[in-house]
């Protein structure tokens, strides 16, 4: 349309003459057939030559004017309206409402996590299956933003509760309850640790079926969720990825009324490789290719059952990954001239330094003395660590409103690590858990299904928004959370009903 509108508005202006001159062919014909003139007359010959010359000049001027007008039209059209190829026109603009289900009788959401899938990994190697979901679905154009700290358990549980860690209780992969002294580990399944309402509990509370395959918190019996046999797999990292996909596909062989409306599927890769070799090693490329094969296996299985277009697939990661090495180490023992930080005070070293000093040590004084030493220029890499009272952390981190969070938090710069003392150990690898504003901590979000527009890109968002997204797709009432109630309407297609 752009080119057509330019053509309409730039018609060549007619040459301003008193009357239109006869066409060249007509004027010459009139001259040659004039019976009243004598061709042998010299004056006549001069007149004829003059007329012929003038006619040729007129013809040339008309031709040049036409060429100039055409050139003006062509170049003005090109410059004002760049050509648009079909691939540049988002198909989402042609689609405004959700697509009807063709085989299933109810919506199904399959939430897939690829642990440590840093945004950009999808371009490290050919990933035709992941890109099929992207091309025919909706993608966070510059990645999904994790919550702080950008660690596995806090983020996986934020995704399924819509809560920041301070509110869902899983404030780290490992932490200590300050009231009881009990230690939380990734094997802790007591309900007291896991606050909030995960999506599988929301689904069960409304009399619907859910299934979970290795998702942090899913093994916890909580509320209406009893972790039903066959539909709730206890974590076992040795289970092959193919077997996990086959199990999820088997649920679609059940009668329609028994197919869970919500399912999870979890893969440890490429986080497993990232910690060993960092984000840029060929091992990461191989791991990403392996995840893509699993997505391909899943798509093939759903297509064989005729339900691929009916199922909503949401593929995410929990965090990104950044390279670390020995030259980026900070040692707490180097602070001894200012303050002695005992190992008993430290509840987490890297990449989130968490300190709970014993009674008699004011947290504010500890922070002041540590920062004085770190900024002195006498502590190796000291300027790459800044200490805070938790209530003075940037508010965007939402990391203060829980007694489980120690009173002193150290923010470590990207790629740096904190250790207690110097050792002879030398290693390079990868880490995550840093400030969630860092681009290296971003992961992926891809939504494919009846309520996601095809080929659409949306701005990056925090993963606490995903809970409301899922409840909107399933049309169920969700629990209170930190996500925005209006967020789903900015990502999902409208329902024609």
Find how far residue 307's CA is from the centre of its chain.
25
CA-derived radius of gyration, the chain: 35
Virtual torsion, Cα 36, 42, 47, 53, nearest 10 deg: 130
Alpha-carbon distances of 496 from 98, 104, 181, 444, 493, rounded to whole Å = 7, 18, 54, 29, 9
Of 138, 152, 212, 264, the active-site residue reads: 152
Closest C-alpha to 376, from 338, 332, 414, 346: 338
Helix 282-304 crosses helix 241-250 at what angle (to 10 degrees)? 20
The C-alpha atoms of residue 460 and residue 34 are separated, in whole angstroms, by 82
> Quick check: 429 and 324 in contact, CB under 8 A?
yes
Extract the tokens encoding 174: 């490992």
Q: Is 253 exposed, middle or buried (0-12, 13-18, 19+ CB in 10 A)?
A: exposed
Q: Where are the beta strands (DSSP E) in 154-222?
A: 175-176, 183-184, 210-213
Active site residue 152: yes
DSSP symbols for 369-385: HHHHHHTSS-STTGGGE
Tell me how many degrees the CA angle 174-178-180 measures, rounded to the nearest 5.
Answer: 100
Give the single-character DSSP code of 336.
T
Tell which phi-psi region holds residue 47, choosing left (phi > 0), alpha (psi between -120 and 50) or beta.
alpha
Active site residues: 152
């Amino acid at each position: 349309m752009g080119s057509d509108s330019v053509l309409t508005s730039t018609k060549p202006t007619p040459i301003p003459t008193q009357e239109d001159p006869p066409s060249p062919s007509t004027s010459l014909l009139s001259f040659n057939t004039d019976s009243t003139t004598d061709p042998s007359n010299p004056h006549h010959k001069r007149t004829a030559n003059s007329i012929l010359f003038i006619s040729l000049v007129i013809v040339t001027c008309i031709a040049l004017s036409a060429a100039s007008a055409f050139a003006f039209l062509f170049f003005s059209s090109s410059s004002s309206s760049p050509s648009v190829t079909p691939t540049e026109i988002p198909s989402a603009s042609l689609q405004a409402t959700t697509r009807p289900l063709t085989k299933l009788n109810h919506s199904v959401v399959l939430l897939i996590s690829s642990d440590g899938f840093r945004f950009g990994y999808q371009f490290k190697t050919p990933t035709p299956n992941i890109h099929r979901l992207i091309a025919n679905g909706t993608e966070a154009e510059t990645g999904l933003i994790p919550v702080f700290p950008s660690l596995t358990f806090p983020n996986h549980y934020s995704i399924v509760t819509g809560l920041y860690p301070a509110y869902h209780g899983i404030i780290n992969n490992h932490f200590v309850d300050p009231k009881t002294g009990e230690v939380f580990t990734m094997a802790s399944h007591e309900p007291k640790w896991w606050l909030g309402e995960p999506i599988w509990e929301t689904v069960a509370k409304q009399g619907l079926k859910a299934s979970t395959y290795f998702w942090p918190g899913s093994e916890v019996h909580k509320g209406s969720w009893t972790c039903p046999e066959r539909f709730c797999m206890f974590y076992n990292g040795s289970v092959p990825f193919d077997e996990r996909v086959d199990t999820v596909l088997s649920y679609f062989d059940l009668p329609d009324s028994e197919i869970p409306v919500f399912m999870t599927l979890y893969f440890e890769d490429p986080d497993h490789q990232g910690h060993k070799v960092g984000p840029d090693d060929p091992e990461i490329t191989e791991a990403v290719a392996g995840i893509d094969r699993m997505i391909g296996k899943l798509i093939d299985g759903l297509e064989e059952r005729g339900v691929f277009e009916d199922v909503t697939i949401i593929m995410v990661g929990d965090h990104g990954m950044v390279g670390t090495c020995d030259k980026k180490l900070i040692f707490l023992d180097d602070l001894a001239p200012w303050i002695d930080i005992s190992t008993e005070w430290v509840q987490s070293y890297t990449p989130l330094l968490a300190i709970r000093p014993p009674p008699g040590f004011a947290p504010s004084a500890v922070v002041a003395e540590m920062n004085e030493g770190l900024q002195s220029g006498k502590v190796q890499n000291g300027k790459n660590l800044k200490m805070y009272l938790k209530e003075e952390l940037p508010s965007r981190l939402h990391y203060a409103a829980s007694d489980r969070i120690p009173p002193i938090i150290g923010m470590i710069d990207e790629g740096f690590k904190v250790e207690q003392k110097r050792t002879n150990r030398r290693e390079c690898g990868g880490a995550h858990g840093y400030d969630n504003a860092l681009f290296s901590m971003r992961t992926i979000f891809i939504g494919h299904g009846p309520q996601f527009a095809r080929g659409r890109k949306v701005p990056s968002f925090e993963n606490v928004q995903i809970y409301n997204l899922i409840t909107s797709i399933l049309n169920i009432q969700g629990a209170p959370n930190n996500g925005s109630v209006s967020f789903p309407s900015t990502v999902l297609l409208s329902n024609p009903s």
